[in-house]
Structure 1
């Protein structure tokens, strides 16, 4: 059996302690089917010294949940791993830029459809009002540019009191987008790719009264046997715009009120693959990992 490493959360962070072990077991099951074992190790143990990772032919950063709480430490870890030539998939430089959702602006400049977004270094009532005026939206979503799992994500309505607008709003760099009601009616469609090939899709919707679709907020997840053509085309366009080798990608898409598919996020760091809904419990993921190991893990760089 070939042994890989899977990077896991900081042991001192109990936020997702009840969730990530299940994800780990699904990943291990898919890998075991192709003769690969996976040793879990906290990513925070390897921030300044990559020596503990050098023995692995492949390191998968698939459960580094919570990195967004300490973004500078995360970037330092990426630099450490890249300098040491650790065989990471996805590559360390991708893990660095994908942590900040300002990458959506770069995608937009390449012709990829994304929601209208106001980028700001500090959220103020004035910036909120400007966003309402420029987008014409009745509701806005505000969240940090470095975030995850709905952390510090707020939905704001026209006329909200100033205290409501500024309470628990991101203190630093943030993004402001129109709220898309289609999240509730059509849901978000996530498309999973392994080794550049489409694997499966999942539709995610919030429960009544909620706008966040994450499982910790009660999100309802449904397998999609055949993804909408527009969503698949957008996902493929997004992947084509990424100039890097990718072992895996989850592309999150939502249609707007006119049926135009928009890119919400390109998850290239630690996306849940929803392997419990994947064909053969994620066999495509296992094969992609085995193939990458057999090829000599070309993602390592010095």
Structure 2
């Protein structure tokens, strides 16, 4: 019998109490169709000691939400898991660097097209005001470098004051108008192979596409081959082994695809939109276990 562990938030955290059990159950059900048994553990219970994870055949941090609000302990946990060689995919090294959006700067330097970005140790109103002219735009997005689910993400028009800056390091980008019209394209990969794509659009009057803000999701049966190729280039920049990845893209002002996020920690796989309910995910897990 396999022993697969799915990492979740602390069950006592009210921020995620209504969501994570449902997401965990969908993953457990999908794995069960392939004869794979899985259980869950709170990542917050394994920060300084990983004894409870050491015997697992595979640990997946697929519901490890909340690290952006507890980033110092998250990084401590990643170091612990790596030091004792927990059988974890994606690996702890990836979970560390992928939790800070500054990885986008590295990918941009490697030739991956990303939105124009100003990186800041602490965003100030003066810095935001100067960014409008620096980008030649009338709308900006301000967000923390360590974030999730649209947390502390703000859209500003020229002349509008920044009422609350992100805690700690952040970034400023021109608002991408295509997000309101055609939305964002998510490309799902399992074991390095493309599985399926989902188009995500914001509801009327909203710019954030997350489901908690009313985002509208639909399958994209025939995604643009250029987008799929770009996603493949993104994955090729990662030196570590990846079991899963979600690559989020949007079109810039000139129609070019831009990398918004490479979600390698706890991405929603949108298995309800996947062919055969996510067989590719289950096959990738089984293949890793059988090696």
TM-score, length of structure 1 as denominator length: 0.95
CA distance in 1: counterparts of 2:205 and 2:22, whole angstroms:
27
Q: 2:224 aligns with which of 228, 232, 235?
A: 228
Matches within 5 A, 1:98-113: 98-113=98-113
Question: 2-side partners of 1:112 and 1:104: how far apart?
Answer: 9
- Contact map agreement 2:116 2:174 (CA 8 A) in 1: yes
Q: SS at the partner of 1:225?
A: coil
2:87 pairs with 1:96: no
The superposition leaves residues 238-263 of structure 1 with CA deviations (integer Å, 9 ceiling, x where unpaired) of 01111111000000000112210000
Work out whether residues 203 and 221 of structure 1, in 8 Å CA contact, stay in contact via their aligned partners in 2. Answer: yes
Give the unaligned 5+ runs of structure 1: 296-302
User: Which of 165, 169, 177 in structure 2 is aligned with 1:169?
Assistant: 165
Secondary structure (helix, strand or coil) at the match of 2:133 reads helix
- CA apart distance, 1:24: 1.1
- Which residue number corresponds to residue 246 of structure 1? 242
* Alignment partner, residue 267 of structure 1: 263
Work out whether residues 247 and 263 of structure 2, in 8 Å CA contact, stay in contact via their aligned partners in 1: yes
Q: Identify which of 174, 195, 201 aligns with 1:205.
A: 201
Deviates more, 1:194-203 or 1:233-242: 233-242
CA distance in 1, matches of 2:130, 2:37: 52
Q: Is the 8 A contact 2:59 2:87 kept in 1?
A: yes
Write the distance in 1 (CA, Å) between the matches of 2:47 and 2:79. 9
Aligned partners of 2:29 and 2:61: how far apart in 1?
A: 17
Q: Report 1 or 2 for greater relative contact order, CA contacts < 8 Å, sequence distance ≥ 6.
A: 1
1:55 aligns with 2:59: no
Report how many residues are paired: 291
**Structure 1 partner of 2:73:** 73
User: What CA distance in whole angstroms lies between the structure 1 residues aligned with 2:272 and 2:196?
Assistant: 11
SS of match in other structure, 1:87: coil
Paired residue secondary structure (1:249): strand
Q: Answer yes or no: is 1:117 the counterpart of 2:113.
A: no
Cα distance in 1, alignment partners of residues 242 and 277 from structure 2: 20
272, 276, 281: which one aligns with 1:276: 272
CA distance in 2, matches of 1:233, 1:186: 19
Give the match's secondary structure for 2:197.
Answer: strand
| 2:124/2:165 contact within 8 Å kept | no
Q: Which residue is equivalent to 2:4?
A: 4
Counterpart position of 2:287:
291
Cα distance in structure 1, aligned partners of 2:277 and 2:14: 27
Cα distance in 2 for partners of 1:99, 1:174 equals 13
Alignment partner, residue 215 of structure 1: 211
**3-state DSSP class of the match of 1:227?**
coil
Match of 1:258 in 2: 254
Q: Any gaps of 5 or more consecutive residues in structure 2?
A: none
Give the TM-score normalised by the residue count of structure 2: 0.98
Task: Deviation per CA, 1:194-248: give whole Å up to 9, x if none.
Answer: 0000000000010011000000000000000111122111101101111111000
